[in-house]
Amino acid sequence: MQIIQIAIDGPAGSGKSTVAKIVAQNLRITYLDTGAMYRAVTYEALNNHIDLDDSTALRRLVDEIDLKITLESVNINGKDCTEAIRMPEVTQNVSYVAKDAYVRKKMVALQQKIAGDQSVVMDGRDIATHVLPKAPYKYFLVATPKERAKRRLLELEAKGIHITLEEMIAEIEARDKIDQERATAPLVQAKDAKLIDTTALTIDDVVQLILADVLKAGVKRH
């Protein structure tokens, strides 16, 4: 069977996770939300009152954590944390955990293992550059900070969480800065990745662009 690797990168709120999930469903292949992996580590660190700048403590945590992620759920040490990892406190701190070199090394190794013998659509911030550098299909999604903030607000409001647009824009821009400036695997467009500005596009628009590109290249639905 043909192995397909599709890498979708981009900053917070660019739509990459939603797009990646639908593309995977259309092609009937595995979807892996790498962001959920870093969120899970962040949630567990906060839950255990770990200083996010304490590399030794983070190393111990990531070595011991029992993490299971499926399309529907995130399970940490036997506990369903699917909703908990999406809470604002985790969102505000995940970039600090994700920049830790050892945490990234462990997560990347796990991601590569998952993609080793099956077709996958994987989204994140360093998929095309570090996790799956040889993936034949690479996309980099972007949108303006204001548009990305609006999308995040809609997600939070659906959960009964309310903050201002200005606060969300500031949070988005702060996360971008951390992600782009971290020493290990910073957020950057791979040279061979196709840029898609999603600001004025619907989710379906972006999905169809990627599917058309992949199917045009001869990929068959599994």
Helices 55-64 and 101-114 cross at an angle (nearest 10°) of 20
Residue 95 marked in a binding site: no
Q: What is the C-alpha separation between 146 and 153, in angstroms, rounded?
A: 11
15 labelled as ligand-binding? yes
Which helix or strand (DSSP H or E) is residue 139 part of?
strand 137-142
Binding residue per annotation — 218?
no
Question: Which residue in 93, 113, 110, 91 sits closest to 102, CA to CA?
Answer: 110
Can you tell me the distance from the alpha carbon of 118 to that of 75, in angstroms, rounded to the nearest whole number? 22
Residue 14 assigned to a binding site: yes
11 is in an annotated binding site: yes
Structural tokens at position 134: 């040889």
Residue 16, marked binder: yes
177 is in an annotated binding site: no
Binding residues: 10-18
Binding residues for ATP: 10-18
